[in-house]
Chains A and B, each alone.
Chain A
Amino acid sequence: MGNVELIALLPIIVIAAAAVVVMLSAAFKSPHALLSGLTLLGLLLTLTAMLWANDVAPLQVTPLLIVDRFALFYSALIVLSAMVVTLLSGRYLSGVGSLVEQPRQQAHLAAEYYILLLTATLGAMVLVASRHFAAFFIGLELLGVSLYVLVAYLAPLSAARAPSLEAGMKYLILSGVASALLLFGIALLYAEFGTLEFNQLGELWQNPAAMDNTIVAAGLVLLLSGACFKLSLVPFHMWTPDVYEGAPAPITAFVATVSKGAIFAFVLRLFVDTNAFVHPAVYGALTIVAILSMVGGNLLALLQNNVKRMLAYSSIAHMGYLLVVLLAGSNSVTSTALVSEAVGFYLVAYFVTTLGAFGVVTVLSKAGAEHDSDQLNDYRGLFWRAPGLAMILVAMLLSLAGIPLTVGFVGKFYIVVVGVQAYMWLLLAALVLGSVIGLYYYLRLIVVMFMSDEKGSERSALMTQIAPGDRLVLLGLVMLLVWLGIYPDPLISLIQYTGLNQL
């Protein structure tokens, strides 16, 4: 491996090193603030390393990884999100120490959290750079295993947090099943074609014989089932609300954005490289999944009184919307460049909005408390207690609902444009239906924030603790949301520049 390859891998190396550094510093009983600072520094250095890597991109590093602009763009997105999560975790975790008796354990507790956050980010970065099933699986498991622990992270601290353990277990077992499905699917494809590289796969299954091959179809469907599970698409969504509810709020944000985004970026690359769209089994199955997710996700969200669960179902629906774009790729009218562009924009919109929404939940919650502030009632009258915070959440919810002047609208607009171009009227009808149902629960939360609240004083006690740092992060996110909603051109150019353009 030459120097060039090392430079290309620099971001991945730096973040792995950062994880080691944080681990070592925990051995010296570093205080929480230092650990958090080191994590941030590591992520910042990773981001800087991407600038160098960009100079040598695109470059295939070993058969496993490809460092191209696409991979770097999504890596940057992932690392930035991880930074937001780290920043939000600082105050959220600050009370954790008091729940543990020995001071030694305190440092370990916080250190574990940040180490796992870094390894999960590493896994996601590997995912978006993989062009080979082996690399994909390594990335996926790195991400998954880190998250199992993070989801259940608060469980040992207090009895009231026991549901976290359940969420972690559920995630572990169901993820295991999904991984098994994925592996089996990959194995079937390997048995048939004798390769794990996407490019070669794509060439091999272009011939009509492969199309009719049952083993290929079974392999693809298993592979997609696994991916749908990770993306929490209906009917593979069962774990989502429980995990979202049980996980600590910042980790929920991480699961919702980084984990799903990385996998979607990977699926996009897989589809573009291998041209899996052409397989009729894939198209048919994914169309059904998309419709079910858009309508079902939104319908199930209607019944929730828990904000985290509601956002979980909302994320299911959003992944369904994204699937519409992916499916449009099967139509010859729609260019891969446009699909990749639309997915990129929608994911950025979704990241900003979801981080913001869970950011508000995090700011209102505390790891030391019995549960996160995720009941609808916790938000009652929020506007009258903290107008700024409430308006930030309103902006995030409106963006999720796709109202203009927010980035969410431009994202949804992209989907409509792609859908119209590919003549997917049925899917668009489902999108409209899903969006309209979705409005109801977004508005419900907004209305609750404006209601008068007789127990306001109790809840406002929580409010006094908003750290200035948290405020800044949320303000940054909301400004990004409005700016990209009003003037999306620069981001669009960037995404076009980093998009996939093959086929």
Chain B
Amino acid sequence: MMLVYLILLLFVGGLLCWLVDRVKLADPRWLAVIVQVVALVLVLAGYLNSEGFEVAGRTWLIGLDVPWISRFGVGFTLAMDGLSLLMVVMALFLGIVAVLSSWQEIERSSGFFHFNLLWTLAGVVGVFTALDLFLFFVFWEVMLVPMYFIIAVWGHEKRVYAAMKFFIFTQASGLLMLLAIVGLVYFHHQATGVLTFNYFSLLDTPLSETVSFWLMLGFFIAFAVKLPAVPVHTWLPDAHTQAPTAGSVILAGILLKTGAYGVIRFVVPLFPEASVQFAPIAMGLGVASIVYGAAVAFAQTDLKRLIAYTSISHMGFVLLGVYSGNELGMQGAVMTMLAHGMTSAALFAFAGAIQQRIHTRDMREMGGFWNSAPRLGAWVLFFSVPALGMPGLANFIGEFLALVGAFKAHAWLTVIAAAGLILAPVYSLVVIQRVFHGKPQGDYVVRDASAREVIMMAMMAVVTILLGLYPQAALELVSAGLTVAPVIETQTADLMVFLN
């Protein structure tokens, strides 16, 4: 029941935020923070009290399964394993950061804004815990609508276009996933006579090779759009750039991870053989995303757009790791998800802070900010360092593991992907150089980081360092929940010997 309370808390909390703002009873910002802190406590309490149980060869911490729409064998099935737990905790953590980052930005209808924010999070928590495919799809879409409002109502100059693009990309691919879900359930029904949307029941559906491939593709496209992978990434630079700061933080920090989570949780376990078949293509897309994202990021002049493209690049490592077909790669992918969640959220929060101060995101008009805002500069430098892959910080662990895992599967692709690690410092340092060093371009006096911003950045910095220095805790939590696609035969056996 804990998971139901958790999701309900976020839904009701969202409604309350709207309500208290309309009757001018309280500040919805504080209410949103309190709701999320309570939610975090609830999750951690649930984790500490859980006894764990085994289903389908994996350990689950908390679970719930009640019938919902009996006509279709749809259940209200929620369960949480180590992976879900990490993702949910990260989502709530970044949710608090998001509220803090937009503390002064939202002037109009603050209640409705926080309503949308909490509903997005409710959808995200649902996505990370739903183990009924119908329910999963419901949450998948539920997180989409409020996010659309956040971009469309509180975004920047091209918000309507960006919001529309975001919605249509996600919804179109979502419909393909719906077809695949229904198809999977139908074939399962045909084979076994049981009509169910339950994840565990569907795990071992006997499928022919072709059917399995097409169904897998339906899921993969939906997740690839969210991830995003080249070539279905084009919504992302627009959405991230135009969203208000909190929207960008949630998009980059949390929503992108739902795509990766979907691949890990659904695509690989549900269609193991098809995934192996598809792995080279998926890894190729991952590598393309890494290199393309990094190269295009370098060419940007819009600060938020630059950060958005780096997200594409980093998420490429996730795709690479997930499809590497071994546990190392998979762990690397999860680690990268966590690490990227922190750094991208921090960088977007910083971009938001800059925009709020000087009302532009154009880096050509910036420069020399270190003089007036050294604290802000130091924090940005701190978060650029993990982004460029400095050992000792979380991102390094993630990307390194993903590359090691991928190397076993496909050496040449990995070599190209590693080139992305060279490009990362280039764009990261370009940001520092253009924004904080050099001659000031405008006559701005940039206010230095406020206490609120310092607290926010420090929160994320602590997590990044902890994950970087002691990744074992997170990795152990996760490893029980990972399904690894059967090892892929490769021609690089000799290289593996070298590696070992």
B69 to A488, Cβ gap below 8 A?
yes
A489 to B71, Cβ gap below 8 A?
yes
Residues of A within 8 A of B69 (CB): 487-489, 492
Q: Would A432 and B176 be within 8 Å (CB), given that A420-B182, A420-B183 are in contact?
A: yes
Q: B220 → chain A, closest Cβ, in Å?
A: 16
Q: Would A450 and B153 be within 8 Å (CB), given that A404-B138, A439-B171 are in contact?
A: yes
Q: Mark A415-444, 1 if CB is under 8 A from B, else 0.
A: 011001100000010001001100110011
Q: Would A404 and B182 be within 8 Å (CB), given that A447-B163, A450-B153 are in contact?
A: no
Residues of A within 8 A of B163 (CB): 443, 447
B172 to A404, Cβ gap below 8 A?
no
Partner of A413, one of B145, B148, B178: B178
B182 to A398, Cβ gap below 8 A?
no
A contact patch SS: helix
A401 to B171, CA, bound (A): 10
Q: B210 → chain A, closest Cβ, in Å?
A: 13
Partner of A436, one of B72, B112, B137, B175: B175
B182 to A417, Cβ gap below 8 A?
yes
A403 to B179, Cβ gap below 8 A?
no
A420 to B190, CA, bound (A): 12
Q: Mark A266-290, 1 if CB is under 8 A from B, else 0.
A: 0000000000000000000000000
Residues of B within 8 A of A420 (CB): 179, 182-183, 186
B152 to A447, Cβ gap below 8 A?
yes
A435 to B148, Cβ gap below 8 A?
no
B178 to A450, Cβ gap below 8 A?
no
Q: Mark B243-270, 1 if CB is under 8 A from A, else 0.
A: 0000000000000000000000000000
A405 at the interface (CB under 8 A from B): yes
Partner of A403, one of B109, B145, B149: B145
A443 to B160, CA, bound (A): 9
Q: Mark A394-420, 1 if CB is under 8 A from B, else 0.
A: 000010010111000100010011001
A398 to B145, Cβ gap below 8 A?
yes
A450 to B152, Cβ gap below 8 A?
yes
Interface residues of A in 426-476 (CB under 8 A from B): 428, 432, 435-436, 439-440, 443-444, 446-447, 450
B379 at the interface (CB under 8 A from A): no
A405 to B141, CA, bound (A): 9
Q: Would A421 and B167 be within 8 Å (CB), given that A404-B138, A432-B172, A450-B153 are in contact?
A: no
A409 to B175, CA, bound (A): 11
B182 to A416, Cβ gap below 8 A?
yes
B186 to A436, Cβ gap below 8 A?
no
A404 to B186, Cβ gap below 8 A?
no
A450 to B160, CA, bound (A): 10
B385 at the interface (CB under 8 A from A): no
Nearest opposing residue in chain A for B183, CB measure = A420
A496 to B112, CA, bound (A): 40
B148 to A443, Cβ gap below 8 A?
yes
A417 to B141, CA, bound (A): 18
Q: Mark B174-217, 1 if CB is under 8 A from A, else 0.
A: 01101100110010000000000000000000000000000000
Interface residues of A in 362-394 (CB under 8 A from B): 384, 387
A440 to B179, Cβ gap below 8 A?
no
Q: A239 → chain B, closest Cβ, in Å?
A: 30
Residues of A within 8 A of B415 (CB): none
Nearest opposing residue in chain A for B18, CB measure = A387
A420 to B331, CA, bound (A): 36
Interface residues of B in 41-75 (CB under 8 A from A): 69-72
A384 to B108, CA, bound (A): 10
Q: Would A428 and B72 be within 8 Å (CB), given that A420-B186, A436-B168, A436-B171 are in contact?
A: no
B172 to A436, Cβ gap below 8 A?
yes
Nearest opposing residue in chain B for A432, CB measure = B175
Determine which residue in A404, A413, A428, A432 has the highest number of CB atoms from chain B within 10 A of its CB, and name it: A404
Q: Would A416 and B152 be within 8 Å (CB), given that A440-B164, A440-B168, A489-B69 are in contact?
A: no
Residues of A within 8 A of B285 (CB): none
Determine which residue in A401, A420, A435, A444 has the highest number of CB atoms from chain B within 10 A of its CB, and name it: A420
Residues of A within 8 A of B167 (CB): 439, 443
B164 to A443, Cβ gap below 8 A?
yes
B179 to A416, Cβ gap below 8 A?
yes
A439 to B176, Cβ gap below 8 A?
no
A222 to B171, CA, bound (A): 38
B142 at the interface (CB under 8 A from A): yes
Nearest opposing residue in chain A for B160, CB measure = A447
Q: Would A405 and B164 be within 8 Å (CB), given that A416-B182, A420-B183, A443-B148 are in contact?
A: no
Pull 18 A–B residue pairs with CB atoms less than 8 Å apart, ordered by A. Answer: A387-B22, A403-B141, A413-B134, A413-B182, A416-B179, A416-B182, A417-B72, A417-B186, A428-B179, A436-B168, A436-B172, A439-B167, A443-B163, A443-B164, A447-B164, A450-B153, A488-B69, A492-B71
The chain A residues found within 8 Å of chain B, CB to CB, are 384, 387, 398, 401, 403-405, 409, 413, 416-417, 420-421, 428, 432, 435-436, 439-440, 443-444, 446-447, 450, 487-489, 492-493, 496
Given contacts A405-B138, A417-B186, A436-B175, 6 further A-B contacts (CB under 8 A): A387-B112, A404-B137, A428-B179, A443-B148, A488-B71, A496-B71
6 cross-chain pairs, A with B, having the tightest CB-CB distances, nearest first: A404-B138, A436-B172, A404-B141, A432-B175, A492-B71, A420-B182
The chain B residues found within 8 Å of chain A, CB to CB, are 22, 69-72, 109, 112, 134, 137-138, 141-142, 144-145, 148-149, 152-153, 160, 163-164, 167-168, 171-172, 175-176, 178-179, 182-183, 186
